[in-house]
């Protein structure tokens, strides 16, 4: 059987005078590699040709080389693995991006020394005197030192910048420059409930404790990124995602994300600088007024509005405040939710819904089923996010409704706690992706980053294999551990489904968008514990290079 597949029939059909398609040379070819196409048979090829932003052919190096002309860029993969660009189906990317250039990120730092090094580096690269803010997203257990930073360490790392580091929602530390900038000299200068800690000699340590409200109010006193910084952050965050092989996200809105907060991503999109495809949903923000909000916001925003880079993808992940994280919604709560859901269905809108546990998800599925009786939702790609302990029964109900499931690596951070609360047996099957797949539920992978998780897809892909929490305990059993191929499929084609894109991207097949990543290591054969360290060396979106490192720089 001939391995080379071409766009031949389509192009010849359209342009009878032009002759065979391969007479037109490719823009780029990648040869001598291991291309994981993620097609139906998970076929591996040696080479790929790209023309006009699309996959023109996949096949052997010898055959693909025939498509090269004088102007074709030839990339020698030297045996490296290529995957379709990864798609996170539940990443709060728009919100994370806003502060990416003005915050210091401690995600993935394995020592406190490394974390402090990032503050030192930020002090060097940011404008002199800039605030250096670590706004959560880290944990003492991730550090070899198993402790928090001291004020002296912050000062040593950044003597001339105000520095603020927050841990969870109960603790923060400021260096002296930071305390001065916020005019904090005594407890009276703190939001109510906040307290300044003193050492044995009565000197301030820079540490502040207090309840969640005090720490949130304290954080609110820090300067917000300007619009220029938000735009800069958006470009830098998306480039950071490109560095990890991500070429698409499905964005589920998020808490405190107002309409005005979308302006930065719109600006980057409008000027053609977007390097990650974004399908975004809208959350209800004003408790009790969500229906009016949705009606108002979508008057000029029909489902699917946008283009291949940025597109409106419906409602969620919070529809109403009353039904958010509420396992016992009242009849009124459910009625109001049902009204919105039915309205969305009538407009052909997709809807994604955050739900925690299986014990109460029947309330949501009841609503979906009642809406479905009046307006079929089967083709609207509704979905449930999280639901880590999904039962077989719930998954069957989802399958019957055509409701998909976005799965995140929440158990990487939360698995120890889950195991303590629900027992080791229950922990063996979270999340039950193999059961979901057997039943035929559409499954997408992702992270839920960046406040509660790392956005690194390879952390999640490793976790899919080893089932280990951040403390190193393997909690998941082999019965719910997907193969490497299936995990990759969840992260590409699987996620693409949630924005109606599985025919356009998510696999490297002829005619599809040329979104791909050349990996630093072979995802399929590297020891499991090395998957988390994989990066992209070359990322392409639409056949254009958006990130290049090492040999491709």
Residues engaged in binding Zn ion (CB under 5 A):
317, 354, 385
CB of 435 to Zn ion, least distance (A): 21
CB of 532 to Zn ion, least distance (A): 23
- Spatial strand order of the sheet with 443-446 comes to 352-355, 383-386, 404-408, 443-446
Contact 354, 321 (CB under 8 A): no
CB of 318 to Zn ion, least distance (A): 8
Cβ distance to Zn ion smaller for residue 29 or 323: 323
Contact 282, 242 (CB under 8 A): no
**Which among 151, 154, 74 has a CA at the least distance from the CA of 115?**
154
Contact 480, 435 (CB under 8 A): yes
Contact 297, 319 (CB under 8 A): no
Q: Write the burial class of residue 452 (CB in 10 Å: 0-12 exposed, 13-18 middle, 19+ buried).
A: middle
Give the integer Cα–Cα distance in Å for 28 and 47.
11
CB of 323 to Zn ion, least distance (A): 13
Render 420-477 in DSSP notation, one character per residue.
Answer: HHH-HHHHTTSS-HHHHHHHT--EEEE--TTTSS---HHHHHHHHHH-B-TTS-B---
Cβ distance to Zn ion smaller for residue 34 or 354: 354
CB of 450 to Zn ion, least distance (A): 13
Cβ distance to Zn ion smaller for residue 96 or 163: 96
CB of 325 to Zn ion, least distance (A): 9
CB within 8 A of 63, min separation 6: which ones? 3, 4, 47, 57
How many Cα neighbours within 13 Å face the side chain of 251?
27
Chain residue whose CB lies nearest Zn ion: 354
CB of 356 to Zn ion, least distance (A): 9
Per-residue b/e over 337-369, b at no fewer than 16 CB within 10 Å?
Answer: bbebbbbbbebebbbbbbbbebeebebbbebbe
CB of 357 to Zn ion, least distance (A): 13
Cβ distance to Zn ion smaller for residue 255 or 330: 255
Cβ distance to Zn ion smaller for residue 196 or 250: 250
CB of 88 to Zn ion, least distance (A): 13
Q: Could you count the other beta carbons within 10 Å of the beta carbon of residue 25?
A: 16
């Amino acid at each position: 059987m001939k391995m080379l597949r071409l766009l031949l029939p389509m192009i010849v059909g359209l342009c009878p005078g032009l002759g065979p398609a391969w007479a037109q040379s490719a823009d780029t070819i990648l040869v001598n590699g291991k291309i994981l196409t993620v097609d139906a048979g998970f076929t591996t090829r040696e080479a790929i040709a790209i023309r006009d932003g699309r996959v023109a052919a996949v096949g052997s190096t010898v055959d693909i080389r025939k498509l090269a002309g004088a102007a074709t860029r030839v990339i020698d993969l030297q045996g490296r693995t290529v995957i379709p660009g990864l798609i996170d189906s539940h990443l709060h990317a728009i919100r994370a991006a806003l502060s990416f250039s003005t915050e210091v990120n401690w995600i993935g730092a394995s020592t406190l020394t490394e974390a402090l090094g990032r503050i030192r580096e930020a002090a060097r690269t940011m404008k002199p005197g800039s605030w250096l803010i670590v706004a959560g997203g880290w944990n003492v257990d991730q550090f070899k030192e198993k402790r928090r930073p001291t004020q002296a360490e912050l000062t040593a790392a950044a003597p001339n910048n105000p520095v603020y580091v927050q841990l969870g929602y109960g603790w923060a530390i400021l260096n002296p420059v930071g305390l001065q900038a916020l005019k904090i000299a005594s407890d009276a200068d703190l939001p109510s409930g906040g307290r300044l800690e003193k050492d044995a000699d009565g000197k301030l340590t820079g540490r502040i404790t207090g309840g969640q409200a005090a720490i949130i109010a304290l954080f609110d006193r820090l300067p917000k990124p300007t619009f220029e910084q938000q735009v800069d952050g958006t470009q830098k965050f998306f480039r950071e995602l490109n560095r990890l092989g991500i070429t698409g996200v499905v964005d589920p809105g998020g808490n405190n994300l107002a309409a005005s907060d979308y302006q930065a991503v719109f600006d980057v999109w409008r000027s053609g600088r977007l390097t990650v495809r974004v399908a975004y949903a809208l959350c209800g923000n004003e408790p009790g007024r969500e229906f009016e909000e949705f009606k108002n916001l979508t008057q000029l925003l029909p489902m699917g509005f946008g283009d291949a880079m940025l597109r409106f993808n419906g409602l969620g992940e919070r529809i109403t405040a009353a039904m958010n994280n509420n396992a016992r919604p009242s009849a009124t709560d459910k009625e109001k939710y049902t009204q919105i859901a039915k309205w969305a269905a009538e407009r052909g809108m997709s809807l994604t819904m955050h739900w925690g546990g299986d014990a109460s998800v029947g309330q949501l599925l009841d609503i979906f089923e009642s809406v479905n009786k009046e307006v079929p939702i089967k083709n609207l790609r509704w979905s449930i996010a999280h639901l880590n302990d999904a039962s077989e029964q719930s998954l069957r109900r989802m399958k019957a409704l055509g409701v998909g499931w976005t799965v995140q690596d929440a158990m990487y951070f939360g698995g120890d706690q889950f195991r303590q609360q629900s027992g080791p047996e229950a922990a063996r099957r979270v999340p039950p992706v193999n059961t979901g797949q057997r039943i035929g539920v559409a499954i997408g992978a992702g992270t839920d980053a960046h406040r509660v998780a790392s956005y690194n897809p390879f952390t999640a892909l490793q976790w899919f294999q080893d089932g280990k929490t951040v403390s190193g305990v393997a909690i998941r059993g082999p019965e719910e551990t997907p193969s490497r191929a299936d995990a990759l499929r969840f992260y590409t084609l699987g996620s693409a489904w949630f924005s109606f894109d599985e025919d356009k991207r998510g696999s490297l097949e002829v005619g599809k968008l040329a979104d791909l990543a050349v990996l630093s290591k072979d995802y399929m054969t590297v020891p499991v514990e090395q998957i988390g360290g994989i990066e992209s060396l070359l990322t392409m979106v639409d056949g254009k290079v958006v990130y290049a490192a090492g040999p491709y720089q």
